[in-house]
Structure 1
């Protein structure tokens, strides 16, 4: 048995509308939204009374998905210092290839994003940067220069 593909990455957010606007500004498309609740979701999360709203975002090529999840019940929990630095254990970033890093950074800033460090050039291959989304998620952006 082996992994066939990666279906999506899930991010828990507090403000679903602003998270959708942020990732839409970066070029993701809204694939669909749905409320989720019931015993099956309680069991898979090992929580009681789960009630969430999910927005599934996808890349233009349709191969990558980002699930944005707003917990209405039980309330989401923040661990450790916020926002967590980029060297914190666990999932810290999700990377997207973009056409133009500078334009993507400006679009992110217009929706509350902040540049973490600098836009850097890796040889003549990529321009890269990290942007912290309003929900604290670090989004890595990559522009292919080849």
Structure 2
């Protein structure tokens, strides 16, 4: 049996309609804009299978520097499907979960971007307070506050 050459997970990609709004939302969540660029041409389409493409991307990084979100706005080709309002039990990639230090303050701040709690903030066995929110463009985001040591 061959061992994996996997070293780490670099990023999760999220396609958005409005890159500026998404950057603002994820900045308020606590991520930092690491860089912004255009990815264009036939070479990029050979990676994605989409042919000649033009995509504006923004790389957002978590405070610890270990995780990233790649936010993408497709100019060409246009997007063909929208999964943003899919319920939690839908097949495929669904949400990103973040560890936070003050869930109540964060939910209040993100509500200024139109974010809404999907169900409710719950206490899981006095270990975590957690919830799902619908954030910018209806994206499903999980947030969890470790309360086990408080």
TM-score by length of 2: 0.92
Matched, 1:9 2:12: yes
Structure number with larger C-alpha Rg: 2
Q: CA separation in 2, counterparts of 1:79 and 1:106?
A: 27
Cα deviation 1:48-104 (Å, max 9, x = unaligned) = 221000000011110110110000111112246x51111110111000001111111
Matching residue within 127, 130, 134 for 2:129 = 127
* 1:104 alignment partner, SS class: helix
User: Structure 1: any 5+ residue segments left out of the alignment?
Assistant: none
Q: CA separation in 1, counterparts of 2:71 and 2:106?
A: 19
* Alignment of structure 1 residues 10-29 onto 2, 5 Å: 10-29=13-32
Contact 1:108 1:131 in 2 (8 A): no
Q: CA separation in 2, counterparts of 1:67 and 1:79?
A: 17
Q: CA deviation at 1:137?
A: 1.8
Structure 1 runs of 4+ with >4 Å offset = none
Matched, 1:137 2:139: yes
Judge which range, 94-103 or 129-138, deviates more: 129-138
Contact 1:84 1:136 in 2 (8 A): no
The match for 2:76 is: 73
User: Structure 2: any 5+ residue segments left out of the alignment?
Assistant: none
Q: CA separation in 2, counterparts of 1:12 and 1:79?
A: 9
Q: CA separation in 1, counterparts of 2:39 and 2:82?
A: 24
Contact 1:97 1:143 in 2 (8 A): yes
Judge which range, 106-115 or 12-21, deviates more: 106-115
Aligned length: 145
